[in-house]
Amino acid sequence: MWDKALEFASHIEHPTPAAAVALVLVAYLLSIALKKRRSGATWPTVALIVTIGLVIMIIGLAPLASSTYLQTRNLYIVRVFVLGVEKQPTDEAHLTSSSGGEAKKIQGGWELDIPPPVRPADGKVILFASVPNAFLSGKSSLVLGQDYYPTMTIQLTADTSATVRGVVVDDRYRSVGGAQVSIVGYPDEALTDTMGNFTLAAHAADGQIIQVRAQKGQLVGTLSVPCG
């Protein structure tokens, strides 16, 4: 409950002006209370005005006090939400940070504790999320500043960064130059060199199984292989 209150208060922008305004209002209400009392007002009426002033003071000073308290704790608590390819939250991701720290699973996402001593000089932290079994990955960055409870979202996308390299040979294992090589389902092609070598974008992630097709004239061959 206390942490939730701190988190809410720490997100209020411009805490110092808010505290100043609150103190001015409190002083105004106290002056009204004194005037009421001098004019013969009952204690319940005066107490009500004073109570309102105290509530305003607490609300006004809370953001400033929470910011000061969080700085003494020397800890950033980053809340991270990871979205799958259909832009729905996923609980299967693996989360890491460029500044280290251990990600803790919470309802609907993760929390990452980052002590200020490991905070980069520019405050920029990059968070990475991945679902290896589904070949999904994503990253996002934020700058750690006055907000000790920042929130960020990472969108996962299909990893298509891998390449496939190989050699095209005939049925006698002789290199075939000038063969057209492609990934089944994609239009781009590569031509093998005189030694039969080729390099081609795999349109998939490292370790993902793809089907490679090679053709020269009437000769055609296909092979299912892992990328990378």
pLDDT in tens, 22-58: 666 667 677 877 777 777 777 777 677 778 767 766 6
pLDDT tens-digit profile of 170-215? 989 999 999 999 999 999 999 999 999 999 999 998 889 999 999 9
Structure tokens at 201: 């974008």
What is the reported pLDDT for 64? 55
Domain identity same for 196 and 218? yes
Q: Check whether 222 has a pLDDT greater than 90.
A: yes
Residues 49, 17 share a domain: yes
The answer on pLDDT for 110 being more than 70 is: yes
Q: What CATH number should be reported for the domain holding residue 198?
A: 2.60.40.1120
- Reduced to 3 states (helix: H, G, I; strand: E, B; else coil), residue 40 is coil
Residues 125 and 111 in one domain: yes
Per-residue pLDDT at 27: 75
On whether both 84 and 137 belong to a single domain, the answer is: yes
Between the alpha carbon of residue 192 and those of residues 11, 126, 214, the distances in Å are 59, 39, 9
Find out whether 124 and 97 touch, Cβ atoms under 8 Å: no
- Quickly list DSSP for 56-72: HHHHHHHHHHHHHHHHH
Instruction: In whole angstroms, give the CA distance from residue 123 to residue 142.
Output: 8
Q: Do residues 93 and 165 make contact, with C-beta atoms less than 8 angstroms apart?
A: no
Q: How many domains does the chain have?
A: 3
Same domain, 170 and 201: yes
Q: What is the CATH number of the domain that holds 142?
A: 2.60.40.2070
Show the domain range for 18. Answer: 2-72
Tell whether 141 and 209 lie within a shared domain. Answer: no
- C-beta of residue 190 within 8 angstroms of C-beta of residue 196: no
* 141 and 185 housed in the same domain: no
Query: Count of CB atoms within 10 A of residue 89's CB?
Result: 12
Whole-angstrom Cα distance, residue 47 to residue 56? 14
* pLDDT at residue 68, as a whole number: 59
Angle at 216 between CA 213 and CA 220, to 5 degrees: 45
The C-alpha angle with vertex 83 and arms to 79 and 88, in degrees rounded to 5, equals 120
Distance CA(213)–CA(168), nearest Å, equals 10
pLDDT in tens, 60-107: 556 656 655 555 556 788 889 999 888 888 888 888 888 877 788 888
Q: Do residue 99 and residue 152 come from a single domain? A: yes
Of 104, 136, 158, which residue is a domain's last? 158
The CA-atom distances, in angstroms, between 12 and each of 15, 54, 57, 156, 197 are 7, 19, 15, 30, 61
Chain segment 131-152, per-residue pLDDT in tens: 888 889 899 999 988 777 888 9
Residue 157: per-residue pLDDT: 92
Q: What is the pLDDT of residue 122?
A: 86
Based on the domain organization, do 152 and 173 belong to the same domain?
A: no
Whether residues 68 and 81 fall in one domain:
no
Do 147 and 106 lie in one domain? The reply is: yes
pLDDT of 2 strictly over 60: no
pLDDT band at residue 9 under the 50/70/90 scheme = very low
Domain end marker among 143, 158, 173 = 158
Q: How high is the pLDDT of residue 32?
A: 76
Please, what is the average pLDDT of the chain? Answer: 81
pLDDT for 21: 64
Both 218 and 181 in one domain: the answer is yes
Report the DSSP pairing between strands 94-97 and 124-131. Answer: antiparallel
Q: Which of these three, 106, 136, 158, is where a domain ends?
A: 158
Q: Which two tokens stand for residue 57?
A: 């003071």
111-125, 154-168, 176-190, 196-210: range with lowest mean pLDDT: 111-125
